[in-house]
Copies of this chain bind each other. A is one copy, B any other.
Amino acid sequence: MTGFFDTMLARLDRLTETGARRVAQTSGRRSFLAKAGTLILGGALAPMLPFDKSHATGTGGGVATGSDPLQCDYWRYCSLDGTLCTQCGGSLSMCPPGSEASTVSWVGTCRNPDDTRDYLISYNDCCGKTFCGNATFCNFNEGEKPGYRMALHNDINWCMANTSVGYHCTVAVLVGLAE
């Protein structure tokens, strides 16, 4: 699966591609906050998100800065919207056995709290299996944009370009430094 990111970009429209690269490399939570007017950091926002209610832990909101890949707030999940492959037989960067790796993906720029560097993260869906309701559904949206910036959009099934488009779970692959 080497070159998956180049493949993804090559398949995107030119406009989207340009936008994706620019935004992925320049946007960060800090610039947004600066623009959003009065800053209220660490507010009481921990919304219950509208997903599988059988897992009360399946919430999101806030900012992902944690260190446990089994939890929604793991730092690499800063723009992940989906069920965690780490809880479904996969790992942070590998799909569970028997699933299909998505051929396209969306990206996020997440800060690693350990080295305070910003990394480009590729969120790849794992495909061709029943939705993994056994895993927690997470929803973080740092740098996320509507579909006109498709490579940054996470409200869509990124199994869309696969042979089997069934959505199973999502990994967060470290692509490299965002700087």
Number of copies of this protein chain within its complex: 2
**Is A53 positioned at the interface, with any CB of B under 8 Å from its CB?**
yes
By a CB distance below 8 angstroms, the chain B residues around A54 are 53-54
How many residues of chain A get a CB closer than 8 Å to chain B's CBs? 2
Q: Give the shortest distance, in Å, between A13 (CB) and chain B (any CB).
A: 35
By a CB distance below 8 angstroms, the chain B residues around A53 are 53-54
Q: Give the shortest distance, in Å, between A54 (CB) and chain B (any CB).
A: 5
A 141-170 to B, binary, CB cutoff 8 A, 1 in contact else 0: 000000000000000000000000000000
Cα–Cα, bound, A53→B54 (Å) = 7
Which residue of the partner chain B has the closest CB to A53? B54
Interface residues of A in 1-60 (CB under 8 A from B): 53-54
Which residue of the partner chain B has the closest CB to A54? B53
Q: Which 3 A-B pairs have the closest CB atoms?
A: A53-B54, A53-B53, A54-B54
